[in-house]
Amino acid sequence: MKLHAEKLSSQLQNNLAPCYLVSGDEHLLVEEALDKIRSAAREQGFETRESFVALPNFNWSQLAAAASNRSLFADKRIIEVRLPTGKPGREGSAALCEFVDNLSPEFLLIVIAPRLNKSNKNSKWVKMLSASGDHLPIWDVDLRELPRWISTRMRDAGLKPDRDAVRMIADRVEGNLLAANQEIEKLRIILGEGAVTGEDVANAVANNSRYDVYKLIDAAVGGDAKRAMKILNGLRGEGVEPVMMTWALTQELRVLALLSDSVRNNVDLGAAMQKQRVWSNRQAMVRVCIGRHQHMELLRLLKAIGRADAAAKGQAAGDPWHLCADIVLGLSLGGRRAA
């Protein structure tokens, strides 16, 4: 069954499921959920843990071997399988289904995957894990929810923050939950439990904004030029290779150009986005972006990113960061730029 993250602790007190699927992209929250499951399992006698990372060339017979390798002392074991791509493939899907189908009480299976798309959710292995145990989807904390998340964390740590303290931490860590958690712990150590003001935070918190290439893409596609340029400057300051920037922008602009061309040919944009595998939580943003740009605009930006990529690789003259800045502004502002 599907289990909400907030209910995990109470569910574990009542019952340990025979298997768990934990999926999500927020590392801190995923690892915290896993720690809770492991802790509950240890209390019920699961003393050893075997971990597998199913990369593309993973030998799935190892999973079957783990199941057949029953201890002489009948100790209970946790079997963890990480799926970095979220796609075990045909062989992996069959191996997971077989393992679940023959799951004995001496094993606890935990499968860890990134956020699942619609196709993955409908796959046989996901349905079988959900039917036999619990599926725990871990959702990202977006920027609008971040202040509430930080406030709750601070109060759980014994801190009593004012509004300025919460806002300042949210502004500085910009979506990086791990950095936010570290700063909360730092405040608890420095200040002890009790009231925390914005001034306290200003004196104690380092600027740990996570300048992420994909957050830059989302800011630009979403039309937030100010935030996009802030992240771009942050990436440059962190020493990120410009070729990483040009690669990510190229991928996004190609998809946008294809979607724009589909609209010009009277293809339903929703269907076109599904075909191009645009995440459902990005579709509204992408739809607005397509409406903001003429098709030729996107083609010009795509051509420009080709020049920036050549500059990043030393194959053409020019500063790739300056070229990327122009492209990011063009993508963010669209037709408004001329105004």
Cβ contact 130:1 at 8 Å:
yes
CA distances from 230 to 182, 259, 332 (A): 23, 27, 13
| Domains of the chain (ranges, CATH numbers) | 5-138 (3.40.50.300), 146-204 (1.10.8.60), 213-336 (1.20.272.10)
Segment 196-232, tens digit of pLDDT: 998 888 777 655 556 678 889 999 999 999 999 999 9
Q: Provide DSSP, 249-264.
A: HHHHHHHHHHHHHHHH
Residue that has been written with the tokens 């893409």 in this structure? 217
- How far is the C-alpha of 43 from the C-alpha of 39, rounded, in Å? 6
**The two structure tokens encoding residue 85:** 């791509």
Using only C-alpha atoms, what is the Rg of the chain? 24
Quick check: 338 pLDDT over 50? Answer: no
pLDDT at 175: 78
pLDDT at 194 over 90: yes
Percent of all residues in the chain with a pLDDT value above 70, rounded to a whole number: 95
Amino acid identity of residue 60, one-letter, is W
Q: Which residue has the tokens 């003259």?
A: 317
For the stretch 263-308, pLDDT in tens is 999 999 988 998 888 877 788 999 999 999 999 999 999 999 999 9
Q: Quick one: angle between helices 177-191 and 27-43, nearest 10?
A: 70
User: Do 221 and 252 contact (CB within 8 A), yes or no?
Assistant: yes
